[in-house]
Each structure stands twice: as structure tokens, then as C-alpha cells.
Amino acid sequence: MAFSPRGICFSPQPLRAVPRRIPRPPLASRRRNTETVQTPGMNIAIFGGTFDPVHRGHIVVARAAIAKFALKQVWFIPADIPPHKQKTPITSFYHRYAMIALALAGDKQFVPSLLEALDPERALKERNPSYSIDTVRRVKKTLGKGDHLYFLIGMDAFRDIAKWYRAEELLAECEFIVAARPGYSLADVASSLPEKLRPRAEVTKLFRKQKMSGPLVLPGVALHMLPETHENVSATQIRAAVDRGMALKRLVPDAVAEYIQKERLYRKTGIRD
């Protein structure tokens, strides 16, 4: 991952009155948002990714993080251009954002964010990948002095953290919440860190039989483990299910399933723009 455009109207009926120019949301502003940032000392997590599409697994992980780490909010931030998928066809940002907004509707603890949406003023000049380090720094500018920022990420994505853009700086900017996945140990977490941040080999060896639990605090990085949520859902699985004409109720919220059907996303004819 790495934490508005004109003339676009992508919403189905549940998202009525989408303006032609989608205004930059307060969460992307440099000013402190008094509606979403209400009290000092608030814990916030940003949850970034491609979200192609958002699914029940994402929501279950976010709810578990809220409960375990006393989070006030989780901001879902879809990437405009995921750095690791620059050459991979993905669904239009605005379809992905629309599905997130539908999935999170009515839950004040979940915030759909346009922080990584393409800025129309820069669209003709450049369109760079959505780097997490830039997003985190933008989010931190909106927070109060007593607020605490976390970066929520699944272990499958964290496995490649050392390859991320300016990974060491990113890990130093905020604490990470790493959601456990089957088959991973604490040693896998430690060995995934950039080389300069990894513990010594003899220390990592001791973690091999330890499940992903508790904090892992090292010089330059603080990681908190979120136990497995046992929600076995993936975006790849959902896209394949759509292609085979299977029901999506178990995989995505109903509003998202309806949107996918209405917009004819993830069909064999290709990804819908």
C-alpha cells in the first residue's frame, strides 16, 4: 500500500446524489476534523489495500482490531495505483471505493477514505503509485497531539514489507497491527522485516515455534499481533465465484454483492472500467 476527481458518477441507487466533482474528504485535509476526531488520545488505524473487492474478511479483521486495541476508528484507504500491482489489471478506483462505502455504511467506526484518490489537478501531469509512507504522513498531519496511529495489515501482505517503498521509514512512522494468518509464526514476522531491523538469526530461531501473539518491539519498529479471525475469504476467491456465477452472500456484504451484479464486475469479458 503504503494512508477529487471531476465528472465521475459511479454509484448504484444506495449511494444517491454523488456529485460530479467528488470533494476531497475532511480526512484528507490538513485541518483537524472535529467530526471524526472528537477527543484527545484517540486510537486510529489505517487499513490500506487494493480492496478488489472489499469482503467480509476485511471487515472481520477490522472489527477484531477495534476490540483488541481499543480503536476509535479504522480508515479503509483503497490505493489508486498499488505499487505491487502496477502491471496488473485492477478494477477502477471509483468502483472499489463505492464498494467500500457500501460495505461500511452505517458503522461510525469504519471510515471509507479518498486519501489515495487521483488528484484531478495532477492527473494530466503525473500519476504515481500510492505509497504507504506518503499516506501515513498525510494522515498524521490531521491528527491531534494525543492521538495514536496504527497501520493495520494482514500477515500475507506483511510478508513483503521489506520490499515496500522506504520500508524502514514507514515502520518508524507508526506502530503496526499485523493480522495473523494460518501457517505463520512469530519467526515469519521477524524475518519479514527489512534487513536492518531484523533481530539476530539466533533470536529469530527462538520464534519458530511461537504463534503470532503479543507485541514484538525492536529498535525502529513496534509490531502488535492480531490473532487469527478464521475468516477464510480472499478477493481472488470472490472474482472466481463471480466468473462461475456463484452466490456471493457468504463472501461480501449484500450491498457489495448487488453492486457487483449491477455493474457487471469481474466477468470473463474483463475488468470493468
CA angle 248/63/223 to nearest 5° reads 120
Cα distance between residue 52 and residue 69, in whole Å: 26
pLDDT tens profile 67-118:
999 999 999 999 999 998 877 889 999 999 999 999 999 999 999 999 999 8
At position 267, the amino acid (one-letter code) is R
Average pLDDT taken over every residue of the chain: 85
Give the whole-number percent of the chain exceeding pLDDT 90: 69
Q: Could you write out the DSSP letters of every residue in 81-121?
A: S-GGGTTS----HHHHHHHHHHHHTT-TTEEE--TTSPPTT
Q: What is the pLDDT of residue 146?
A: 93
pLDDT tens profile 138-179:
999 999 989 999 999 999 999 999 999 999 999 999 999 999
Which range among 24-28, 130-134, 205-209 has the greatest average pLDDT?
130-134
pLDDT tens profile 214-234:
899 999 999 999 999 988 899
pLDDT tens profile 177-216:
999 999 999 999 999 999 999 999 998 998 988 889 889 9
Task: Please report the sign of the dihedral spanned by the C-alpha atoms of residue 47, residue 119, residue 266, residue 240.
Answer: negative
At position 89, the amino acid (one-letter code) is P
Residue 40 has pLDDT above 80, yes or no: no
Q: What is the pLDDT of residue 232?
A: 87
Residue 263 has pLDDT above 80, yes or no: yes
Mapped onto helix, strand or coil, the DSSP state of residue 225 is strand
Long-range contacts of 83-89 (CB under 8 A, 24+ apart): 83/1, 83/2, 83/129, 83/130, 83/131, 83/164, 83/165, 84/160, 84/163, 85/50, 86/129, 89/270, 89/271
Q: What is the pLDDT of residue 84?
A: 80
Neighbours of 266 (CB within 10 A): 22
Q: What is the pLDDT of residue 123?
A: 56
